Amino acid sequence: MAKMDLTPMLKPRSVAIIGASRDPGKVGHVILQNYLNAGYSGRIYAVNKNATEVMGIKCYESVLKIKDTIDLAVIAIPAKFVPETLEECGKARVKTTIVVSGGFAEIGNVDLQEQLKSIADKYNMPTLGPNCLGVMDPRSRIDTLFLPTYKLSRPQVGGVSFLCQSGAVGSTVLDLIAGEGFGLSKFISYGNAAQVDEVDLLNFLADDPDTKVIIMYIEGIKRGRAFIETARRVTRKKPVIVLKGGRTSAGQAAAHSHTAALAGSYEDHEAVFRQFGFTIAEDISDMLNYAKIFNSEPFPKGNRVGIITNGGGIGVLASDEIGMSGTLKLAEISDKSKTTLRRNLPPLVNIRNPLDLAGDAGSQRYEEALSVFNSDDSIDSILAICLFQTPGADSSVAAKLINFKEKSEKPLIVLSIGADYTRMHKIMMESSGLPVYDSPYAAVHSLSQLLKYAEYRKNAPN
């Protein structure tokens, strides 16, 4: 299957903003401002036939007047003018375009959208949209989102790429990613997918060296057979976490009016996802929880989990979740490890799994337990519970967990529940690449999904 080269769209050396405006309320103004704020180092051209300059940048009447090769044109003008403008982009040999404008098939203007696709195909010009936010890549400092930075936080550079059919879901999740502390490789909002669709985007990200994990929100799949072929290839290389909108008849009707997506049977979609190793998220929280662990942790070698805790009751709840997971089980601590732990921990600590270090446990007890669990071949993954409300838990414990993560070859995840003081330490740990969860269910379920994907990768045919 032929693959589109989307490099000029995501790593452009030159960008034309068609619809750049001096009016702060206009989409074209916000997009141009975002490029300037992001520190984009390429060449920026503003196109507005009614202005001579915008924000100190010279304006051109048409993209045809620009005497330079344009890698990307971002089109933010009323829908009825888009076909003519896209035709000009084709004649100017613009390499790729993004149509952020709405007013196409999602409101019944199917013919107008077909014109857009026909022009893009005629010039072999990859075109994203219409009715989309476009793209953001923190590495190349491109940002076509027409949402100002004071309203939507921009994530740091990282390894998670996010494909999203909905601008609203996309902006919400981006804001959450920035708050969670794990970084973004690329964000691509593709809206109605008149030409470039989820198949093209998955194919591109499969070979993108900056993308470690793919998360996606979709409402419909246009090319079923091509999607299956792509799914088979992509998930052998990288994990794909998918959240599907339009799982009910009500949701399918809403999806069609939103992005003109033909949502189809959710059961059919789910069967394809499961067959080809997609990790299925039930909601936005799941998607973020899975992305954190897939982005940071190695694959577990087995299903045996060791729990270290400073709160017995939370350890019990985590044990229950492991027992109900259907994939994980509590590890049996080896006799050698028990002997070492008994020698180095206080008598009040009961040497079993979960290993309850007691409420006064500080960084020294955590270090001892982590070291023993890491060297114990009967333990495949470690769940460290740290309740920062207890007397011994402070920043030194968080630092110890961070330092241990850097040298451990086993998955290590943290469960920490609480308000302000806990959140401060959660940010501290997550900014260092350690996944932290705020409920036993979220922690265990995320580890379970990591194991399921590891087994898929191990058993998937070449």
Regarding whether 311 and 347 lie in a shared domain, the answer is yes
In which residue are the tokens 């949402």 written?
147
First to last CA, the chain: 18
Q: Does the pLDDT value for residue 215 go beyond 60? A: yes
Please tell me the predicted confidence (pLDDT) of residue 41: 92
| Domain shared by 110 and 71, yes or no | yes
Collapse the DSSP code of 35 into the 3-class scheme (helix H, G, I; strand E, B; otherwise coil) and give the result. helix
Which pairing describes strands 329-330 and 412-415: parallel, antiparallel, or unpaired?
unpaired
Contacting residues for 84 by C-beta, under 8 A, at least 6 apart: none
> For residue 295, what are its two tokens?
């982005």
Which is more confident, 97 or 151?
97
Residues 17 and 166 reside in one and the same domain = no
Residue that finishes a domain, picked among 296, 322, 342: 296
In the chain, % helix, strand, coil (3-state, to 5) comes to 45, 15, 40
pLDDT in tens, 290-336: 999 999 999 999 999 999 999 999 999 999 999 999 999 999 999 99
Q: Is the pLDDT of residue 264 over 80?
A: no
Residues 179 and 123 occupy one common structural domain: no
Q: Where does a domain end: 240, 263, 296?
A: 296
Q: How confident is the model at residue 152 (pLDDT cuts 50, 70, 90)?
A: confident
Q: Are residues 11 and 111 in the same domain?
A: yes
Contact 374, 408 (CB under 8 A): yes
Instruction: Flag whether pLDDT at 266 surpasses 80.
Output: no
Q: Is 138 a member of any domain?
A: no
Q: What average pLDDT does the structure give for the chain?
A: 93
Mean pLDDT of 117-134: 97
Please spell the DSSP secondary structure of 375-427, one letter per residue: H-TT--EEEEE--TTSTT-SHHHHHHHHHHHHH-SS-EEEE---SHHHHHHHH
Q: Are residues 307 and 441 in the same domain?
A: yes
Whether residue 352 lies inside any domain: the answer is yes
Residue 129, pLDDT score: 96
Within a domain: residue 145?
A: no
- Give 143-190 as a DSSP string: E---S-TTTSPPPPEEEEEEEES-HHHHHHHHHHHHHH---EEEEEE-
According to DSSP, the β-strands at 72-75 and 14-18 are: parallel
pTM to 2 decimal places = 0.92
Q: Domain with 383 in it: what CATH number?
A: 3.40.50.261
Residue 150 pLDDT grade (very low, low, confident, very high; cuts 50, 70, 90): confident
Residue 255, pLDDT > 60, answer no
In a domain, 141, yes or no: no
Query: Among residues 14, 68, 25, 76, which one has the least CA distance to residue 48?
Result: 76
What integer is the mean pLDDT of 109-118?
97
Residue 279 sits in which domain range? 152-296
Only one residue has tokens 């601590």, namely 333
334 and 233 in one domain?
no
| Residue for token pair 């013919």 | 111
Q: Is residue 137 part of a domain?
A: no
Q: Which of 245, 269, 296 represents a domain boundary (last residue)?
A: 296
For 411-436, how does the pLDDT look when each residue is reduced to its tens digit (9 = 90+)? 999 999 999 999 999 999 998 999 99
Averaged over 175-182, what is the pLDDT? 86
232, 330: one domain: no
In 238-318, which ranges are E strands? Answer: 240-244, 279-280, 304-309
Spatial CB neighbours of 61, under 8 Å, sequence gap ≥ 6: 47, 49
Residue where the block lists tokens 């069967």: 271
Q: What is the mean pLDDT of residues 385-403?
A: 96
Place of tokens 């007397």: 391
CA angle 32, 132, 35 (to 5 degrees): 20
**pLDDT value at 42 more than 50:** yes
pLDDT for 252: 53
359 DSSP 8-state letter: T
- Among 228, 230, 212, which Cα is nearest to 4's? 230
Nearest of 436, 447, 461, 457 to residue 182 by alpha carbon: 436
In this structure, what CATH number is given to the domain that contains residue 122? Answer: 3.40.50.720
Over 90: is that where the pLDDT of 147 sits? no
Nearest to 383 by CA among 455, 284, 317, 459: 317
pLDDT at position 354: 98
Confirm whether 139 is domain-assigned: no
Distances (CA, A) of 12 to 70, 75, 139, 244, 325: 8, 15, 11, 30, 45
Regarding whether 307 and 292 lie in a shared domain, the answer is no
The answer to whether the CB of 77 falls within 8 A of the CB of 19 is yes
Q: What is the total count of domains within the chain?
A: 3
Tens of pLDDT, residues 66-83: 999 999 999 999 999 999
SS3 assignment, position 123: coil
**For the chain, percent of residues with pLDDT exceeding 70:** 95
Cα distance between residue 236 and residue 243, in whole Å: 19
pLDDT in tens, 334-360: 999 999 999 999 999 999 999 999 999
Residues 337 and 246 in one domain: no
Q: For the chain, what is the total number of helices (H) and then of strands (E)?
A: 16, 20
Q: How far apart are CA 223 and CA 35, in angstroms?
A: 33
Query: Do 171 and 215 fall into the same domain?
Result: yes
**Mean pLDDT in residue range 92-109:** 96
Q: What was the pLDDT predicted at 262?
A: 47
Residue 136 within any structural domain of the chain:
no
Closest by alpha carbon to 453, among 230, 253, 224, 291?
291
β-pairing verdict for 14-18 and 213-218: unpaired
What is the reported pLDDT for 258? 46
The 10s digit of each residue's pLDDT in 15-38 is: 999 999 999 999 999 999 999 988
Q: Give the integer Cα–Cα distance in Å for 398 and 370.
A: 13
Q: How does DSSP assign 324-338, residue by residue?
A: HHSS-EE----HHHH
Whether residue 147 lies inside any domain: the answer is no
98 with 227, same domain: the answer is: no
DSSP 8-state symbol, 318: H
